[in-house]
Amino acid sequence: MNKFLLAGACALLLSGCGSTGNSIGNLIAFNSTTAPEPTDMTKRAVNVDCPVVDVLEGGGHMQVGSGAGLRQQFTISETSRECTVVNGQIMIRVGVSGRVVAGPAGGAGNFTVPIRVGVRREDNQQIVTSKVFTVPASIPAGQGSSTFSFVSDPVSVPYTRDEANEDYMVVVGIAKK
């Protein structure tokens, strides 16, 4: 009779093992009386208003050389951005495209364009993060110009609310030496 009572008690205790609110089931499944927090993959997705991209004043173009000694000129023509929220951070990938033009002293060849991507906090106009990316560009033989483009590695800033476009602005420019 004691065997049946013990078996019944065990069955009752174990019957709730799959339940998330059952501390005994949690103890068996997770070696703790409480279940762990869900991973980011199971949490609700955060829709964030991605900050606007602004080309820094004077940062949209760069010349190598001047006058008759002008070798190349680089110009940013388009920008874009994409935001996701991961672990309390807004991850911002920035796309930049532009044009490289050979000057009178320049010509076909391979070049690098130093593109700075930063994020500025709007309330105090302070740069939160900034990084320079070296972007390859080339002018094919027989051509006077070409285009370049790249998408940055993600830059991150703290997530404070869905309206991130009111808190931050993405700034880009050709990094002058």
Q: Return the CATH number at 119.
A: 2.60.40
Residue with tokens 């044009």: 99
Picking from 115, 102, 109, 104, the residue whose alpha carbon sits closest to that of residue 72 is 102
| Structure tokens belonging to residue 109 | 């060849």
What is the model's pLDDT at position 47? Answer: 80
Same structural domain, 104 and 134 = yes
Same structural domain, 72 and 120 = yes
Residue 114 has pLDDT above 60, yes or no: yes
Same structural domain, 11 and 59 = no
Same structural domain, 113 and 168 = yes
CA distance 22 to 19: 5
Q: How far is CA 33 from the centre of its chain?
A: 37
Domain that holds residue 21: 1-36
What is the model's pLDDT at position 9? Answer: 42
What is the model's pLDDT at position 20? Answer: 43
In a domain, 23, yes or no: yes
The residues, any chain, with a CB within 8 Å of residue 49's CB and separated by 6 or more, are: 162, 163, 164, 165, 166
Amino acid at 75: T
Same structural domain, 60 and 105 = yes
Residue 120 has pLDDT above 90, yes or no: yes
Same structural domain, 72 and 5 = no
Same structural domain, 73 and 5 = no
Q: Are 154 and 91 spatial neighbours (Cβ–Cβ below 8 Å)?
A: yes
In a domain, 160, yes or no: yes
Same structural domain, 91 and 170 = yes
Amino acid at 11: A
CA distance 123 to 163: 14
Same structural domain, 89 and 123 = yes
CA distance 90 to 79: 18
Same structural domain, 63 and 31 = no
Residue 32 has pLDDT above 70, yes or no: no
Give first-to-last CA distance, the chain, whole Å.
Answer: 88
Q: How many domains does the chain have?
A: 2
Residue 10 has pLDDT above 90, yes or no: no
In a domain, 46, yes or no: no
What is the model's pLDDT at position 50? Answer: 94
Q: How open is the CA angle 51-52-56, to the nearest 5 degrees?
A: 120
CA distance 143 to 109: 10
